[in-house]
Amino acid sequence: MAVVTVQNISFAYADKELYDGVSFQLNEGEHAVLVGHNGSGKSTLLKLLTGKLLPDRGRIDWTGGVSFSYLDQELQEGAEQTVIDYLYGVFRPLFDKEEEMERLYEEGAAGNEKALNRASRLQEELLDGGFYALQEKVGDLVDGLAIPKDKLNSPLSKLSSGQREKAFLAKMLLEEKDVLLLDEPTNYLDENQVKWLVDRLNGYPRAFLCVSHDEAFLRQIAQVVFVLENRRIDRYRGSYEHFEEQRLLDMEQYEKNYEAQQRYIKKEEEFIKSHIVRATSAMAAKSHRARLAHLVRMAPPKSDVVQCHFRFPFSRDVGERPLIVDALEIGYETPLLEPVSFVLKKGEKIAIIGQNGVGKTTFLKTILGLLPPLGGSYKWLEGTTPSYFDSDIDHDLDLTPFELLHESFPNLDNTAIRSALGEAGVQKEKALRPLSELSGGERTKSRLALMGLRKSNFLIFDEPSNHLDQKAKEALYQAIAAFPGAVILVSHEKDFYDGLVDYELYF
């Protein structure tokens, strides 16, 4: 049975049409993934499914009684609730029932037999509902997603983007709705947390639809693959590996059919041209022309992949040891780590890896002077000019990509700014839309384009590949590899940094 049915929908942003008569359905219990290139409309499709956006044409029908939960890239919910209240809020009806039970037991103790019987029935309902195992259930999710224990009593608004997303993901899994709609759920998870999430999703008894550019993750959870390309959606039943094999065969067959049709059209046009002027064969030529006019012509094989190229201009050499870190202690009130010491040499590229919350981003912000050290020291060699990619892309969302670059480089003319964005894969119509309306991949590309306008001799990246599709990741890899200066890269994607860095630094 279908839990949601999409019928012949179309949707456009300005002059960019994302879907042209798209139809599909998600069935009860299906574990499905949605793939496509940056900007193809995956996140927009999830927003259409949730009713946050409405299609220009067509309809989306949820089966009566079906419930869903949505994890998006801009979590805004419950900002002033503490994390623990937010999670236990899922079970508010059970807590209300417990309060009612306790009140009835008090009445029963005073001799009200009906109240005592009612209290007893409520206690059985709480037992059946797993009420007395809630602490263990919530604790398992907090541990599995590594939500910091010292943040459980903090308001969601005080958490980092990654911590808030983990809290909402935990809430979704606690709610156990009929359908989970997940947009890039692994962006803020380290390797162990991704493994934990894979196990939870594979054991999820209901349906989900997941958008992700992490192919290793998709390979482990997909039972159905929807591919969004060229304004249409194709459905593949089976594993991700089966999808890749079948997709390749389908594309090869389509190209063959298209070429065969083109040969047929050419042959028919040549026949018509040579026979239409002859009295003896004009009738036959007209018949061929009528048949050709009714032919449904196949669109040329093409891909909607937006080509992108990143570059990070080098300023100048400054010496053999651009950064020296000596017994550096980082944190806010107490150190998050043991003292950190290392020397980064000229041209070296290193990856900083470790579990989420251990202090990787805090370390970067400390050596950049954005946070004060708690002890020890760090020293930049004179003339070193670091350029920083911040993983927290929740700021400046009211700006367009064009405005983002123009604010930092007001002397650049419009053509130069558009060229920089276009080179990074931010197309013309996207450059003039607020970042809040763009996908995570398009926001990342916009900020990488900004980095591409700054001359630097030291690059610092905090999870730059999170929202990028495979082609964009490859382009970023090549740009970092080509940079002659030193690089510090924080990443949880070993497939991305493997072979790129000289060594790994474990936090």
Pair 174, 138: CB distance under 8 Å:
yes
Pair 431, 402: CB distance under 8 Å:
yes
CA dihedral 490, 391, 211, 165 (to 10 degrees): 110
Long-range contacts of 335-343 (CB under 8 A, 24+ apart): 335/374, 335/375, 336/362, 337/363, 337/507, 339/375, 339/376, 340/376, 340/507, 341/376, 342/505
pTM for the predicted model, two decimal places: 0.72
Strands 386-389 vs 458-462: parallel, antiparallel or unpaired: parallel
Partners of 235 in the β-ladder = 226
Q: What angle do CA 246, 249, 252 make, to 5 degrees?
A: 150
- Note the pLDDT of residue 305: 63
Cα separation values, 488 from 157, 360, 503, Å: 29, 11, 10
| pLDDT category of residue 227 using cuts at 50, 70 and 90 | very high
3-state helix, strand and coil shares in percent for the chain, rounded to the nearest 5: 45, 20, 35
| pLDDT category of residue 250 using cuts at 50, 70 and 90 | confident
Q: Is the pLDDT of residue 73 over 60?
A: no
Residue with tokens 């994890």: 71
| pLDDT category of residue 369 using cuts at 50, 70 and 90 | very high
- Percentage of the chain beyond pLDDT 90 is 51
Residue range 57-62: average pLDDT? 95
Residue range 295-311: average pLDDT? 79
pLDDT tens by residue, 8-55: 999 987 667 888 889 999 999 999 999 988 878 898 999 999 999 999
- d(C-alpha 160, C-alpha 307), whole Å: 32
392: left (phi over 0), alpha (psi -120 to 50) or beta: beta
- d(C-alpha 445, C-alpha 430), whole Å: 11
